[in-house]
Amino acid sequence: MVEPLMLLAFLPAALALNLTPGADMMFCLAQGMKGGARPALAASAGISTGAMIHVLLAGLGLGALVAAFPWLFGAIRWVGATYLLWLAWKTLRTPLAKGGAAVAPRRAFRDGLIVNLSNPKVILFILAFVPQFVDPSRAVLPQFLIFGAILALGGFVINGLVGAFAGRVGATLTGNPRAERGLRYLSASVFGGLALRIGWEAARP
């Protein structure tokens, strides 16, 4: 269902994205700093569950649209490139911040799920990132689910580890401005690089 070479290209990109800080990671970090590893892992599981729901909805919608209007796939990719460039610019200008409050694991899962599902930027990001690796000549939904599962699993592991070691990670982010800026520059570079990849492919004959 997925081209092996495309899967190999997706894995390091997904890892880089999972490692760069965002709202989900900061939420798990806050849970871990205030409640320890259990609520942090529960929150990470809720976030990953929400991400898979977003992936399913995006894959169903995009698959139907591409089947009806094949030209729309290219248009969606260009819109996604523009959004990724905007994310890169915003990441460079916005300092990282902690958010949320740690609670019991069951509630942490629910809060993580709600935080993810109620954030429209998540599905926008999925529509911007995942189609860069999707082959429109193949079934779109299975590819979305495979790529989404890789993102969700990687996010669960990395965000959970960040939450479990929240004290040390939090001290680095809040007490070391150079480290905080470096993480933002890394995030912006990943987003910008993906956008440039789209333009490079479009410019080729």
**16 is a domain residue:** no
- Report the percentage of the chain scoring pLDDT > 70: 73
Asked whether residue 14 is assigned to any structural domain, the reply reads: no
Task: Report pLDDT digits (tens) over 108-137.
Answer: 898 888 877 766 667 777 877 888 888 878
The C-alpha atoms of residue 38 and residue 49 are separated, in whole angstroms, by 17
Give the residue, 175 or 42, on which the prediction is more confident: 42
Mean of the per-residue pLDDT values for the chain? 77
Percent of the chain with pLDDT over 90: 13
Burial class (CB in 10 A: 0-12, 13-18, 19+), 137: exposed
Domains contained in the chain, number: 1
How far is it, in rounded angstroms, from Cα 127 to Cα 25?
20
Residue 180 falls inside a structural domain: yes
Residue 191 located in a structural domain: yes
What token pair was written down for 88? 């890169």
Q: Sign of the C-alpha dihedral, residues 164, 170, 176, 182?
A: positive
**First-last CA distance in the chain:** 26
Which pLDDT value is given to residue 172? 63
How far, in whole angstroms, is CA 27 from its chain's centroid?
14
3-state helix, strand, coil in the chain (%, to 5): 85, 0, 15
pLDDT exceeds 60 at position 200: yes
Note down the domain range covering 54: 32-203
The answer to the question of residue 27 being in a domain is no
Is residue 66 over pLDDT 50?
Answer: yes
Is residue 161 scored above 70 in pLDDT? Answer: yes
| Structural domain includes residue 11 | no
**The pTM of the whole model exceeds 0.85:** no
Residue 1 belongs to some domain of the structure: no
DSSP 190: H
